[in-house]
Amino acid sequence: MMDSVSGTSAAVADKRVNQMQICRAEYRAIGRFVEQLRPTRQSMKTLQTQFPHLPPSTLLSIFSQEYQKRMKRSMPRHHAPDVIKAYYQRYRSEAKTRPSAPLLLELAHQVDLSPALLARLMVECFLEERQASVAASRHVLNNMLREPYLIPDLLLAKHVEQCTVNDCCYGPLVDCIKHAIGLEHEDLLRDKLRETNLSFLDENQLRAKGYDKTPDIILEVPIAVDGHIVHWIESKASFGDDHSHHTYLNEQFWSYCNRFGPGLVIYWYGFVSELDCQRERGILLRDGFPSDIVSLCQGPARSRV
């Protein structure tokens, strides 16, 4: 897990174009390697040792995406009622004999399930056990996962907290970090646009004007990047792999093209290089803010720094 969100802007600002693009074959090699890893800090250290030429943030993004795919494939097995009951009974039994051990973390690793997802299942079982006639509301469940001290069982609360703190892919802590990093990169994009004296409307301004489903930035005056016209910019604080990129294409990017014209997508943590194949159809990919911007009304745009 990223130790903190602070300092991300400085690290991102120094990244250069093409530094984090990798070919599909290398991405698949990374994917095969992470199949054996668990969502822990030690796993990230192992991954960085194996692929030292890639930034830790890029490897974390790739690992997170591949791990989430793995969890989705295994969900039917873990969510079978008899399986969930067996997990809970096993936890309760061991909690009596080894209360100080990280029981849920151990169980999650043994059955290859995200610790945060297992913690959620265990809290659901606990609430059902206490309130057999009333199903636990999603609101109550989510509050207990965000603030484990709300769980009446103090031992379970401790084990749930261990799971959420030690899971780098799922859980309320990860959700908060991802949200903060996404906002930070959007701020970075706006700062870069201001430095190059480009006039634009951001997502909040567009929504205030009545637009829905908009890119992060619409340029009031189009620019050219690498010889391609750009009317809008979308910021993605993640790595662009085949699955995520094609999902974005279908759910966002083609719609933006149809409404606003050609645009630029920035995958701040890199992308599979073969995906940058839609330029003639209006979608250009970059892994950082472009330095070769030409304003269509003023000529080359220059940064003040």
pLDDT tens digit string along 31-52?
999 998 888 888 899 999 999 9
Rounded to an integer, the average pLDDT of 156-178 is 94
Distance CA 174, CA 179 (A): 8
In the structure, what pLDDT confidence band is assigned to residue 268 with cuts at 50, 70 and 90?
very high
The pLDDT of residue 19 is: 59
**pLDDT value for 212:** 81
Average pLDDT, the chain: 88
Is residue 5 very low, low, confident or very high in pLDDT (cuts 50, 70, 90)? very low
- Checking if the pLDDT of 15 tops 60, the result is no
Task: Please give the Cα distance from 63 to 86 (Å, whole number).
Answer: 29
Residue 297 has pLDDT above 80, yes or no: no
Distance CA 244, CA 253 (A): 12
Question: In Å, how far are 65, 124, 237, 286, 303 from 271, measured between CA atoms?
Answer: 12, 37, 11, 8, 25
How far is residue 71's CA from residue 65's CA, in Å, rounded to a whole number? 10
Q: Which domains does the chain have, with CATH numbers?
A: 80-170 (no CATH), 174-295 (3.40.1350)
- Quick one: pLDDT band at residue 132, thresholds 50, 70, 90? low
Tell me the average pLDDT across 46-74. Answer: 94
Q: Are 228 and 279 in contact (CB under 8 A)?
A: yes
Nearest to 15 by CA among 267, 305, 299: 267
Statement: residue 73 has pLDDT above 50: yes
Region 284-300 average pLDDT: 83
Half-sphere exposure at residue 155, Cβ-oriented, CA atoms within 13 angstroms: 15
- What mean pLDDT is predicted for residues 273-286? 97
- The mean pLDDT value for 86-113 works out to 95
Average pLDDT over residues 230-244: 97
For the chain, give the number of residues: 305
